[in-house]
Amino acid sequence: MRRSAARTRPSMSSAELRGAAATELGFPLYHYRDRPLYGSFVNLTGTLAPTQSGKSRKDLVHKVLDAPGAMLCSTTKLDLVEFAALSRSRRPLAGPVIVYDATGRLRWPAPLRWSLIEGCQDQQEASRRAYTLVEAAALRVEAGGGGGAGNDRVFRERAVVVLTAYLVAAAVSDSSVDTIRAWATESPEPNASNALPTQAGERPPPSRPGRRLPADPRPVKILQDAGRAEMAANLRAEMDLDPRTASAVWMSVRRVVGAWTDPRVRDLLSPARGRGLDVRRFIGQGGSLFLIADQQQAAEAVPVLTALAEHFLRTAQDMAMDYPARRADPPVTVVFDELANGTPVPRLAEVISDAAGRGVVIHWAAQSLAQLERLFGSVGEREVRDNTTTLTAWGGIKDDRTLQWLSDICGTYERTRRQSQADGLFSRERHSYSTETVPVMRPGQIRELPAGKVLALHRGLRCFVADAVDVTERPDNATIDADVATLRNGSAIPIDDRGYCTGGTRGIELTASSTGSAPRRT
């Protein structure tokens, strides 16, 4: 790990590397033969574990607490927030700590406000956000999840075109999410198709008696006036589809914008001008962002928070290119607890392929391969697996496909088999020896792993069984216990409205230096 740190922490001198704590050079894993294991920042990790297996308090919590730079943690429960949020605020040079609990169980002093529209003047950014919003919203109603097939897949693709146009139109006209929702949900009067704006010299579409547009045509004119003629034409074409097709397309759009009627979601998406979360600045400050949501208790917020999580990932990767070594230093950590239920980033398979090469370290957890396939499709699920260099499995998994796959990749070994044979009671025994190929770990052995034991597979090493370390065994457990009590008892949380620890030293923003290898203070 220290050898690879010269590449993953290029801002540190040789002397600093030799004297640095292990958590500055890598992330904590497990214990093996009573010795702690750490992973280098060139690795991404994945965890397959059934619900209530203890992965949050015995695995992910250590990665969250010890992340050396900016960190995003997406989870479905309060556990990781209670264990780590206040500790993250007390780190040396700590950045702001922001918590958004979509379930409404925790009121954090520093509220999250993020403009979904800001930055969408860039059509590519608008398209990425639209895709994430549409696919994440579809997970609530589609058994096939974001990788669905058939007609609905086609309708969702067209819905991305529509929502992209809405986001760009809102950005160029300085409109709000309420305006976008109105565009998508308020149908004009019959025969309004005749009023669709057209480009100069273009013949308007023929009149259809009783024809009703699927939505408000005003965004078409906004885009035309802003010089986005091609996008305006695309939106106009979608509006002029056969009514049944258009209805199906706008149904996918309304899955997204309908959730914005929730006051908490609207509040999240409606920051005052200049007061919303600037993700680039937040990462530069070494901030920590906790997102709490799931498909059952806070389904309305999931698409928006998923879009924010993907924006965080993309921004971190883009920022890495500004560093002299073309990788974020210190690394940016992203933790997805319950990936399929929290913020199911649909394009994670694309992001994960070169994330570690840019200093963005991703740790994900899921309950089975079936969950990953539902989320990413069969090809995307394999890409996520193949690009995850450190994979662990916990006991209690019951999905036979997951167990058999784990057994297969653990490999086999040759075992000597002895057979004895005799012709009669008093005859001399004859012995024969043969070899047989047997699995290193049978599916049943993996399922029966004791509590606190994990099967670990790291790159090209042989598989091994390691010990997970409970949060109560950490040397700072007394402080963590006090933090948990503070958050659970309704005590005053020592965080100001900007996310900094009250009474402590505020963080120092780190930016990539154009002249040296180390980030500079600003």
Using a cut of 0.85, tell me whether the model's pTM lies above it: yes
Residue 291 lies in a domain: yes
Q: What does the pLDDT read at residue 150?
A: 53
Residue 430 lies in a domain: no
Q: What does the pLDDT read at residue 509?
A: 47
Average pLDDT over residues 403-429: 84
Residue 34 CB burial class (10 angstroms; 0-12, 13-18, ≥19): exposed
Question: What is the DSSP code (8-state) at residue 450?
Answer: P
* Structure-token pair, residue 397: 């998994």
248 and 298 share a domain? no
Question: What is the DSSP code (8-state) at residue 272?
Answer: P
Tokens 């965890």 appear where?
47
Residue 94 lies in a domain: yes
Of the three residues 222, 239, 264, the one that is the final residue of a domain is 264
Tens digit of pLDDT for each residue in 98-143? 999 998 899 999 999 999 999 999 999 999 999 999 999 887 665 4
Confidence of residue 189 (pLDDT cuts 50, 70, 90): low
CA distances from 14 to 17, 19, 323 (A): 5, 9, 19
36 and 99 share a domain? yes
How many C-beta atoms surround the C-beta of residue 126 within 10 A? 25
CA distances from 265 to 50, 79, 115, 127, 303 (A): 30, 22, 11, 21, 10
Residue 414 lies in a domain: no
CA distances from 284 to 170, 241, 328, 518 (A): 28, 45, 10, 13
- The closest of 22, 36, 61, 24 to 337, measured between CA atoms, is 61
305 and 194 share a domain? no
Residue 304 lies in a domain: yes
Confidence of residue 242 (pLDDT cuts 50, 70, 90): confident
84 and 129 share a domain? no
Give the C-alpha separation, 376 to 349, whole Å. 7
256 and 182 share a domain? yes
Q: What does the pLDDT read at residue 494?
A: 95
Dihedral sign for Cα 175, 178, 184, 190, please. Answer: negative
Instruction: Give the domain CATH number at 505.
Output: 3.40.50.300
260 and 166 share a domain? yes
Confidence of residue 432 (pLDDT cuts 50, 70, 90): confident
Average pLDDT over residues 503-515: 46
C-beta of residue 96 within 8 angstroms of C-beta of residue 507: yes
* Structure-token pair, residue 102: 């979509």
Domain count, the chain: 2
Residue 442 lies in a domain: no
Q: What does the pLDDT read at residue 514?
A: 34
322 and 204 share a domain? no
pLDDT of 452 above 80 = yes
87 and 236 share a domain? no
Residue 139 lies in a domain: yes
- The closest of 158, 198, 508, 156 to 303, measured between CA atoms, is 156
313 and 381 share a domain? yes
Tens digit of pLDDT for each residue in 344-379? 999 999 899 889 899 999 999 999 999 999 889 899
Residue 406 lies in a domain: no
134 and 37 share a domain? no
Tens digit of pLDDT for each residue in 65-101? 999 999 999 999 999 999 999 999 999 889 999 999 9
Give me the domain span that covers residue 465. Answer: 2-112+277-396+449-521
102 and 215 share a domain? no
- Looking at the chain, the whole-number percentage of residues with pLDDT higher than 90 is 70
